[in-house]
Structure 1
Amino acid sequence: MEKTSNASQTANRNETIAQTVGGNSKYSKKGMILIKTFKPLLLFLLIFYSAKVQAQRIILVDSITKAPLSFVAIEFEDSGFYSSISGEFDLKMVISDSLKIRLLGYKTKKYKTSTLKDTIFLQANSYQLDEVTLTRNQDKTKNIKFLKGAKSFGSWPLQPKSEIITSIKPSEEIKNHYVDKIIIPFSKVIEKKELKNKKIKAYVRIHIYNSINNNISESLYSSPPKDVNSFTKDIVTFDISDEMILLNENGIFIGLELIGYYLDSKAHERANSVIRPQLTSKTNDYFKSNSFLRFVFKNYEELVPLNEMINKENPSGKVMCRNLNIGLELSK
C-alpha cells in the first residue's frame, strides 16, 4: 500500500509540473492572455518614458542669433546651477515646479517646468538712450596700472557661483574717458601635483554695471567666459574697447564672477577654491573704490562689504581695508 501511495503521489506531481510547463494550467493561460493584452501598452509606456527623459535636455539660445548661451543661471528656491558651456541643462536637476532663467544682458524670465520645451530663446535687454554725438580719439590713451598687492589678506579665495564687485568712482582727470581694457591680477596658488595634471579650468567673466547714487543699477556689459590658470601668477585682460563704456561722474561697478571649475567641459566640484584675485590696500589718484561680495544663487540682490568679511576673519583685531586690485586702459 505504501509503495502504491508513493507512486500515485509522484504521478500527480509530475502531471502538475507538466501542465505548468506545457501551458495547460488555467492560471498560465490567463497569464499569457494578460501579457498579450498589455504588451503593446507596456511598449508604448517604455517609448513614452524614454522620449520624456530625452526631452528633459534643454538648450538656451539667443533669440536673434540662435547661438547657444553658456553658463546661464538656472534659479529655483534659493538654489540653482549654470547651464553648460554649450548652453544645455537637464530639467531633472530642477527640484521645483518653476524656475527663473537669468543672464546679465538678457531679460530675466520665469517658467513653469511643466511648460518648458527643448529650446528656450532669451531676448537681449534694450535700453532707450538719449540721442548723443560720440567723439573718441583712441590715440589719447591713459594706462592705470594695478596697485601693489597687500602683504596680508592680499587675495580673496573666490568661491564658485559668487562675484566680487568693486565701484570705480573717477576723478576729474579720467572722468568722461572710455574704458578700453580691464586688467585683473591673480595670485598663484600652491596646489597638489595631481590637481595640476587634471588640467582643471576655472571659468570667470566680468560684468559692468551702471552706478546711480553709489548703488548698482542696470547691467551695461557681460564678457564671454575666460579660463584662468590658477596654478601660475596669472593676469587676465578683458578687452571691451568695442562696448563704448563711458566713465561719467557717477562711475561704474565692475564685477568678477567665478562660474566654477570645469574638467573636459564638465562641471567639477572643488572643496577649496584655487582662484584668488589680488586685493590691494593702496589707493591711487585716478579713482576711489569700494568692494563687495555677491552670491549668485543666494540673496543675489544683497551686497556684502568685503572689508566686513575680512575683518571678521582677521585674528589680530586690526581693522583692514582691502579692495579688488584692478588696472584700466582708458581713451578719450
Structure 2
Amino acid sequence: MPTTERRPILLEFEKPLAELEARIDQIRQLAEDNDVDVSAQIHQLESRADQLRQEIFTSLSPAQRLQVARHPRRPSTLDYIQAISDEWIELHGDRRSGKDDPALVTGIARFQGRPVVMLGHQKGRDTKDNVTRNFGMASPGGYRKAMRMMEHADRFGMPIFCFIDTPGAYPGYEAEEMGQGEAIAYNLREMFRLNVPILCTVIGEGGSGGALGIGVGDRLLMFEHSVYTVASPEACAAILWKDAGRSAQAAEALKITAVDLKNLGILDELLPEPIGGAHAAPLVAAENLKKALQRNLNELLALTPQERRDLRYQKFRQIGVFSEEGYSTMARD
C-alpha cells in the first residue's frame, strides 16, 4: 500500500487544515528550541485540527469528492489486492490480440482461504507509470482479458471481485478500430449469465462504459469518497453549457457520489473511509473493504447459481425506475 510519509499532495479545500498543522509544528519546534512547555496549547491546537479535518471531510461537495476520488495517492486496484489477498498471481493477455493491456489487471488470488479471481482498472503511481497504464483507461483487449478471466472463474467455481477505477474506456482511434463498443457490450451481456458470485467495488473514479465493462455484479460497493457517473462532470458541462468550468454544477446534478447512489437504490453498500480519505490511511481502508467483501460473499454463497442470476437480473432491471408526482404508477426511464 502507498505510504503517507512522502510530502503530502494538498487539495484546495485541505489548505486551511495544512496551514494549521504547519503552525502546530512551528510552535512545537520553537518550544523545543527555547525549552518552553507549551503542551497545553499544542494539545488545544491539535484538537482544533482534528475537529477541522472532521468538518472538512464530512461536508464535501460532489466536486470535492471527485477530487478525492482522483487523488494521485489514492490506493489502486493492485494496492487493495495485495492488502486483502493471501496470494496473488497476475495473468496477462486476451488470447486474441497478442498484447496485454496494463490499464486493466487480472489474476487469481486466495481470499480468506478461498480461490477467487480479482480484476480491476489500474492507474499509475506517477506520471511515467500513468502513461504506461494509459491513466486507467482500458482498451478492448483489456475488457476481453477481463472476460476471459471471468469465464475461467465461472468454469472452476471461483467468485469474482471487480475493482472499478477509471475515467472511462480509452476513446482513441485504435481502440475504436479494435471494437471498443463491442468489447464492453459483450461483457455486459456475458456477466449476466455467470453462475459464480460477482462483487463490484468502486474504489475511486467510476466513469461511463469503461466502468460498466466490469461492473455487472450481484452487489455494488463504493468507498465513501468514490464517484460513479455516466460522464465526467467536465464533459457533461461542456456538452450542456459549452463551458467545462461549470463542472461543479454538473457534478451536483449528475448525482455521482456514493450517498446519492445509495439513496437512488443503485448502491448496495457504502464503505467508510478514514478521515482524510483512503490515501490518508490505506491499510484502514483496505481492512474495511476486506470485511465488506467477506460479508457479502458469504451471503451470496448461500444462494444457488439460479437465485444469483435472477437477483442480478432484477437488480439491473430496477435501475432507472422512478415515480412522478401526480402519478400512482411506476415509469421506466
TM bucket (normalised to shorter chain) is under 0.3
Q: Per residue, is there more strand in 1 or in 2?
A: 1
Question: Which has more radius of gyration?
Answer: 1
Bigger fraction of residues in helix = 2
User: Scaled by the length of structure 1, what TM-score is found?
Assistant: 0.25
